[in-house]
Amino acid sequence: MWALRQTNALQKAFNSSSRVRCYSTTVRLFKNDDKKDTPKYQTINNTGLSNEEIEKILKEEEAKMIAKQKARFVENWKPGMRKKPLQASFKLEEFEYELEPEKHLPRWTLLDKRCGALAIKVGMMPVFDEWGVRHPCTVLFMDQNIVIGHKTMEKNGYIAAQIAAGERKRKNVGKSVLGQYQAFLSEEENPPYLVREFRITDESLLPPLHSQIHARHFVPGQNIDVSGISKGKGFQGPMKRHNFGGMPASHGVSLSHRAHGSTGQCQDPGKVFKGKKMAGHMGTERVTTQNVRIIKIDRGRNLLYVLGAVPGNKGHFVEVRDAVKKPLWGTDKVLDAIDRPPLPTFEFEKIDGSGTAHEVFMPLPATDPFAPDDEEAA
Amino acid sequence: MLGIAARIGRFAASSSGLPRWTAAAFSTNLRTPEEMAVLHHGLRPRHRAPKFKSPRKRASKLLQELQGELVKSNKANKPDVWGTHFRVGDAIELVIGRENAEKNEIEKIRGVVLGISRKGLDHSVLLRDVVFGQPVERRILLHSPLLQSVKLLEENFVYKGKRKVKRAKLYFLRDRNPELTRVTKW
């Protein structure tokens, strides 16, 4: 009786609205029944609908759920792509880009990489700007950076540009290495000192073969990452190597003022863990300094004046790449507030910059940084 | 400039087989001036192309050049600063302010020179003065674009001309009577 009442109610509901759940109760059979032939669960259809109709409704619901899931899934999604339409933003340009993406160039994001360069660390000197602020700068000399080769997805499985820099005496370079450069080296020219690869995200960003990368490849005001082999410090104790605290100079400390102290626990674990910080060789390893700002570029002599210190010794090569974390594209801190660097590289004819300095400074603040704060408060 | 082969050839042609070290070879009557140069300097190769230098040497040379150029140009552009000659122990007045600064932004600083640090672009002067009863020391970089002019007030201010200053750095004056280093009147 109860079942009948329920089915009548369901039928009414089914006729009145389109959203109805089809019920069919299931009854669990006793344990002693044969498990192979008979099913574990027996379905009893206590709705007024036939089995076919129930199946049809169930399929429709399933299709709806699948469609909902698919709608959330964006095909060919790339990092930076939007999954839902833009609703709010601090910049008007983003709405323009949403409405007409074809008119604007594809964005230059943090994940996009272009070619870097090799430079010699020349030394440090101060640079005064027009406001009178003294910037302690390292001078990097981009010595004849020539693109030797390309690495592509078809041949190598990754995209990169091979860049050669510097000069070496022909007698110091082996024949096997000379053979690599025969394509673009004449008999008078010296082979390069160093060859390094720089990873790139897209094949259209590969600079053309045998082209030179000048200092203007970089923009004054941008941030760069500089990687070099740090100065060698030799065998050093843990205080210098790992910033250990050491022990007091007096008060009974015996023979261990600069020692590392305990190396572990007792019987458990009963060993010293691998990687325990101890004394050892320090320095002469690859180190990257991130977010180093370019203060000034000397276009004639291919010099980069870069704020702060850079790993390595004077006269040694360092790798210079756009900053991975904070390159400052699109901000006021970069010259002309450009939103992307020159791609794939800056092209201009050979300029013999000997003796002349064409210096381009980074954009300076609008107000005097030495002005006292009372004026702003007033 | 003659080539090596040309030089040897000329030498051989004119000497008629005489070796270099005989007395006849050294006599000046038989030799042309060019041969004399070869005899004097020897037949060592001359560098036509610029000599190849390692990156380290080029880097140090380049740094020297850059710093030297800047120092030279700064000294040429600012005769008011670099033209005045002062020594340790003198009283000096500096005018500090940007070129486009207004009148109230320019300040005049006086003091006794306790020491001069000559480090190229970081050429600096340590000044000491007693202002409103408070001793004030200040180190000023002479290559700064904020520095407009330097004026010598009094030579040998420290000893009032009675004794010579026999030190490069007068740090001992910090422990002495402040009247010795007071340049401003109040």
Quick check: B57 and A193 CB within 8 A? no
Please give the angle made by the CA atoms of B126, B129 and B131, to the nearest 5 degrees.
Answer: 145
Nearest-neighbour CA in chain B from A104: distance (Å):
42
Residues contacting residue B34 through CB under 8 Å, at least 6 positions apart: B2, B7, B10
Quick check: B62 and A314 CB within 8 A? no
Quick check: B145 and A132 CB within 8 A? yes
Bridge partners, residue A292, by sequence: A224
φ, ψ of residue A129 to 5 degrees: the values are: -100, -175
Contacts of B140 in chain A (CB under 8 A): none
Sketch out chain B's domains with CATH numbers. Answer: 81-181 (2.30.30.790)
Interface probe for B, chosen from A118, A131, A134 (most Cβ of B below 10 Å), is: A134
- Closest to A315 (Cβ–Cβ): which among B60, B66, B70? B60
pLDDT above 90 (res B80) = yes
| A164 touching B (Cβ < 8 Å) | no
Architecture of the domain delimited by A117-232+282-361:
Beta Barrel (2.40)
pLDDT above 60 (res B11) = no
Q: Is the peptide bond before A269 cis (omega within 30 degrees of 0)?
A: yes
Contacts of A122 in chain B (CB under 8 A): 59-60, 62-63, 66
Quick check: B57 and A317 CB within 8 A? no
Average pLDDT of every residue of chain A: 85
| Residues A134 and A151 sit within 8 Å (Cβ to Cβ) | no
Give me B46's structure tokens: 């001359």
Contacts of A127 in chain B (CB under 8 A): none
pLDDT, tens digit, 9 for 90 and up, residues A186-235: 777 888 999 999 999 999 999 999 889 999 899 999 999 999 999 999 99
| A358 touching B (Cβ < 8 Å) | no
- Closest to B59 (Cβ–Cβ): which among A141, A357, A368? A141
Instruction: Give residue B30's pLDDT.
Output: 64
Contacts of A143 in chain B (CB under 8 A): 55, 58
Instruction: Give residue B1's pLDDT.
Output: 46
Across B45-106, the runs of DSSP E, i.e. the strands, are 91-96
Contacts of A132 in chain B (CB under 8 A): 98, 144-146
| A138 touching B (Cβ < 8 Å) | no
Nearest to A305 by CA among A119, A116, A114: A119
Contacts of B58 in chain A (CB under 8 A): 120, 141, 143, 315
Bridge partners, residue B136, by sequence: B129
Q: Check residues A79 and B171 and name the one with the higher pLDDT.
A: B171
In this complex, how many residue pairs, one in chain A and one in chain B, have their CB atoms less than 8 Å apart? 65
Nearest-neighbour CA in chain A from B149: distance (Å):
15
- Closest to A125 (Cβ–Cβ): which among B56, B57, B66? B66
Of the pLDDT bands very low, low, confident and very high (cuts 50, 70, 90), residue A75 is confident
Instruction: Among A98-112, A121-135, B56-70, B148-162, name the one with the lowest average pLDDT.
Output: A98-112
> Which of A8-17, A187-196, A273-282, B22-31: highest mean pLDDT?
A273-282
pLDDT, tens digit, 9 for 90 and up, residues B21-72: 555 555 556 677 777 777 777 766 666 667 788 899 999 999 999 999 999 9
Q: Check residues B22 and A94 and name the one with the higher pLDDT.
A: A94
Across chain A, the runs of DSSP E, i.e. the strands, are 25-28, 41-44, 117-128, 134-141, 145-151, 160-165, 194-199, 212-213, 223-229, 234-236, 280-282, 286-298, 303-307, 317-322, 359-361
d(CA B177, CA A47): 111
Nearest-neighbour CA in chain A from B138: distance (Å):
16
Query: Which residue in chain B is spatially nearest to A144 when comparing CA positions?
Result: B55
Nearest to A140 by CA among A287, A298, A290, A286: A298
Instruction: Give residue A80's pLDDT.
Output: 74
Half-sphere exposure of A301 (CA within 13 A, CB side): 23
Nearest-neighbour CA in chain A from B78: distance (Å):
15
Instruction: Give residue A270's pLDDT.
Output: 93
Domain regions of chain A by residue span: 2-70, 117-232+282-361
CA A126 to chain centre: 31
Residues contacting residue A343 through CB under 8 Å, at least 6 positions apart: A114, A205
- Closest to A120 (Cβ–Cβ): which among B52, B59, B143? B59
pTM of the model: 0.76
Nearest to A257 by CA among A243, A274, A239: A239
Quick check: A132 and B59 CB within 8 A? no
Quick check: B56 and A193 CB within 8 A? no
Quick check: A368 and B66 CB within 8 A? no
Nearest-neighbour CA in chain A from B50: distance (Å):
12
Residues contacting residue A290 through CB under 8 Å, at least 6 positions apart: A223, A225, A323, A324, A325
Of the pLDDT bands very low, low, confident and very high (cuts 50, 70, 90), residue A345 is confident
Q: Which residue has the tokens 């070619």?
A: A115
| A198 touching B (Cβ < 8 Å) | no
Contacts of A131 in chain B (CB under 8 A): 98
Query: Which residue in chain B is spatially nearest to A130 when comparing CA positions?
Result: B145
Interface probe for A, chosen from B52, B60, B62 (most Cβ of A below 10 Å), is: B62
Instruction: Give residue A21's pLDDT.
Output: 53
Q: Is A228 exposed, middle or buried (0-12, 13-18, 19+ CB in 10 A)?
A: buried
Q: Which residue has the tokens 């091979």?
A: A162
Instruction: Give residue A240's pLDDT.
Output: 94
Interface probe for A, chosen from B57, B66, B71 (most Cβ of A below 10 Å), is: B66
Instruction: Give residue A266's pLDDT.
Output: 92
d(CA B35, CA A206): 58
Bridge partners, residue B111, by sequence: B92
Interface probe for A, chosen from B63, B73, B107, B117 (most Cβ of A below 10 Å), is: B63
φ, ψ of residue A25 to 5 degrees: the values are: -75, 155
Contacts of A355 in chain B (CB under 8 A): none
Nearest-neighbour CA in chain A from B168: distance (Å):
25
